[in-house]
Every structure is written in structure tokens, then in C-alpha cells.
Amino acid sequence: MNSPLLPAALFMSLVVSVSAAVPLASLAPVLAIVALFGAVASLAGLIFVVLRADLSYDPHRHLTQTLERFDERWPKFERDFWAHVDSRDAAHHLD
């Protein structure tokens, strides 16, 4: 999920859960506990989303993955490159 609204929605659910727990504390303690558990769950979700987004923007991790893919693809590129050079060279000699 790469929605930019997800962190905002989790933050709003955190605020609503905490603000609902305060008035419910005197009226219905059981619902206040449920609201607090909702606050903890939305906070955990918010932490997860933020850390996941932070890791996806890490340049070191991205460059490491790019380097690994480069090492895998280099022999094929080199073979195709020299085949292309040979074909251009042969076409040049025919002219």
C-alpha cells in the first residue's frame, strides 16, 4: 500500500481513539479500554507505515540492490554489445 492517505488516516484514528477514551473513562470504563487499545493499534500501524516508507527511500539500500542486479546482467550486456559492434563493423566493411 503506497497510499499517501494511509499515515493521515492512522494519525486521525489515533487522535479519535485518544479523544474518545477520555470522556468514556467515567461513563463506560470498558469502552475506554477498547478505545485505548485502538489508540495503541493505530500508533503501531503508523510506526510500521513510517518505518517502511523510510526504508524504501534509503539510498544505500537502493544502490545495493542496483549493484546486485548490475552484476547479474553485465555478462549478457557485454555479449550483446560486442555482437552489435561486430555486426556494425561487418556492415561497415561491406560498404
Task: State the residue range of the domain holding 46.
Answer: 1-57
CA angle at 40 for the pair 35 and 44, rounded to the nearest 5°: 145
In a shared domain, residues 5 and 23: yes
Provide the pLDDT for residue 35.
Answer: 84
DSSP H or E segment with residue 62: helix 59-94
* Residue found under cell 485518544: 18
* Residue found under cell 557485454: 78
In a shared domain, residues 52 and 94: no
Which pTM does this prediction carry? Answer: 0.57
In a shared domain, residues 33 and 13: yes
In a shared domain, residues 53 and 63: no
In a shared domain, residues 52 and 84: no
Q: C-alpha cell of 31? A: 469502552
C-alpha to C-alpha distance for 54 and 49, rounded to whole angstroms = 9
6-15, 17-26, 69-78: which has the minimum mean pLDDT? Answer: 17-26
Residues above pLDDT 90, as percent of the chain:
16
